[in-house]
Amino acid sequence: MYVKHERHPELPPPPSELGALGWLRHNLFSSWGNALLTVASVALLCWTIPPVLRWAVLDATWLGDTRDACLDSAGACWVFIKVRLGMLAYGFYPQAERWRIDLFFLLLVAGGGPLVLGSLLPRRGPARTLATRGLAAAGAGLALVLHGLLPGLLAAAYLGLPSLLARLRAPAAPGAAAKLGLALLAGVAVHALAPQGVALAAGWTALTLTALVLLVPRADEQGWRLALLLTALPALGAVLFLGDGTWLPEVETDRWGGMFLSLVIALVGIATSLPVGILLALGRRSSLPVIRTLSICYIELIRGVPLISVLFMASVMLPLTLPDGMHVDKLLRALVGVSLFYAAYMAEVVRGGLQGIGRGQYEAAQSLGLSYPKAMILVIMPQALRLVIPGITNTFLGLMKDTTLVAVINLMDLLGVIKSALADSQWLGFTKEAYLFAALAFWVLCFGLSRFALHLERRLRYEKH
């Protein structure tokens, strides 16, 4: 028989496990192969980095605003980028109207920023409220200072609305509320059909807000912020960018360009491909054969062709099939092409997530009386999407970079603008600078997105069984 009475004392780990030396040993020199790899990598870095650094930073020309400034330097000529910055950012959007783009992105940052901040800060407590409301207030203030009284008021209204809405209560009786809502919606929709852009945006905002207030029993400030971001802001953006012909001069889409156009395509693509993808994924798992077959055909068809050919088809073939005199804007065609193309990929990502959710979750939701849409929205999708955040991010990143393909149908996105800037006879020969700038711009955007997704993934990881 053996009985142990004393507990073994706790000992510190051996020294080889500790400190910088321990780390080096573990990670860089754990074996001969590893050590060799470490040395080779360091050598490679020493060989490649200094020349690039010398060209791009040390020998580069930063000052001046004519080509002559760069004549006697061996390094990069960033003056070229500086002089063309407006065009790279906005394309051929009229100088006097560019504030409209600035205002939109200001609203995007001040309205979406709190959501990002909210996910970074602790769930409860004053820090979060302070930071999110502070950002909203700062956004409104900035709009007032930069763009004047009316834009300032618009920004204040947009950014302050979520706090107000969160204080509203949903009416108790859903039946009556739904009817009231429908009546209101119809009225607003009619009003919104008026061809003036500002009225349209107001109508759309009112419509969505009424619907949301009536149908959603609970939403906090952040919830409303997200709702506005997905409904009112796009409408506002469309009006700001296009103009309404009365208050804001119209700007045709063929003058849109540069980073602005790239961002518009990316944002629209991201905002539409995910919901459409979710619907397609649900369709593919549907028990109704017609819906299932249609979804499968769509997904497989789209995934089988390159995006370029989809874009070409949308820009060359579509006009041929349309009746005479009917004109669909080229940008709109590209937007639809990119969105529908990426929706097919998104559908498969989401389907992967749905497969990770056990039958028990559906049954628990059903047995509690949740209808199919409610079970999906409240129970299944939050879990399924969380599972596939890496896949979704991946698809978004691909989409963001593939926006550059619209250059082949002569849209002036960042690469398109660069191409035309390079063709300027005054500034020949700055290809390297231009494309490096484009690469950097995309890298910053994509890296930011990927870091945020990574953070979201960690934040949303609930304790597993």
Partner 1 sequence: MPRTPSEDTPAISIRHLHKWYGAFHVLRDVNLTVARGEKVVVCGPSGSGKSTLIRCINRLEEHQKGTIVVDGIELTDNLKRIDRIRREVGMLFQDFNLFPHLTVLENCILAPVWVRRVPEKEAVQTAMHYLERVRIPDQADKYPGQLSGGQQQRVAIARCLCMNPRVMLFDEPTSALDPEMIKEVLDVMVDLAQTGMTMVCVTHEMGFARTVADRVVFMDGGEIIEENEPEAFFAAPQTARAREFLGQILSHGQQAAGA
- Which residues form the interface with partner 1 (CB under 8 A)? 169, 172, 174, 217-218, 360-361, 363-371, 374, 378-379, 382-383, 386, 460, 462-465
Nearer to partner 1 by Cβ, of 217 and 306: the residue is 217
Burial degree of 280 (CB within 10 A; 0-12, 13-18, 19+): buried
3-state secondary structure 97-135: HHHHHHHHHHHHHHHHHHHHHHHHCCCCCHHHHHHHHHH
Nearer to partner 1 by Cβ, of 123 and 327: the residue is 123
How does DSSP classify residue 58? I
Listed in sequence order, the residues at least 6 apart from 141 whose beta carbon sits closer than 8 Å to its beta carbon are 152
Nearer to partner 1 by Cβ, of 26 and 179: the residue is 179
Contact 257, 90 (CB under 8 A): yes
Nearer to partner 1 by Cβ, of 70 and 387: the residue is 387
Nearer to partner 1 by Cβ, of 94 and 382: the residue is 382
Shortest distance (Å) from residue 367 CB to partner 1? 4
Shortest distance (Å) from residue 365 CB to partner 1? 8
For residue 351, which phi and psi values (nearest 5 degrees)? -60, -40
Calpha distance 239→248 (Å, rounded) = 8
Q: Dig out the tokens for 421 from the structure.
A: 């800037």
Listed in sequence order, the residues at least 6 apart from 74 whose beta carbon sits closer than 8 Å to its beta carbon are 55, 59
Q: Give the dihedral of Cα atoms 13, 17, 21, 24; nearest 10 deg.
A: -170
Nearer to partner 1 by Cβ, of 170 and 445: the residue is 170
Calpha distance 149→246 (Å, rounded) = 18
Shortest distance (Å) from residue 364 CB to partner 1? 4
Shortest distance (Å) from residue 352 CB to partner 1? 17
Nearer to partner 1 by Cβ, of 44 and 364: the residue is 364
Q: Is the dihedral of CA 449, 454, 459, 463 positive or negative?
A: positive
Shortest distance (Å) from residue 464 CB to partner 1? 5
Nearer to partner 1 by Cβ, of 100 and 128: the residue is 128
Contact 277, 302 (CB under 8 A): no
Contact 334, 311 (CB under 8 A): yes
Shortest distance (Å) from residue 417 CB to partner 1? 43
Calpha distance 324→301 (Å, rounded) = 28
Shortest distance (Å) from residue 460 CB to partner 1? 8
Shortest distance (Å) from residue 416 CB to partner 1? 43
Mind giving me the DSSP string for 248-261?
S----GGGB-HHHH
With b meaning 16 or more CB within 10 Å and e meaning fewer, what string describes 413-427?
bbbbbbeebbeeeeb
Shortest distance (Å) from residue 379 CB to partner 1? 6
Shortest distance (Å) from residue 385 CB to partner 1? 10
Nearer to partner 1 by Cβ, of 16 and 371: the residue is 371
Nearer to partner 1 by Cβ, of 183 and 368: the residue is 368
Calpha distance 117→348 (Å, rounded) = 30
Residue with tokens 């997704």: 453
Calpha distance 358→393 (Å, rounded) = 24
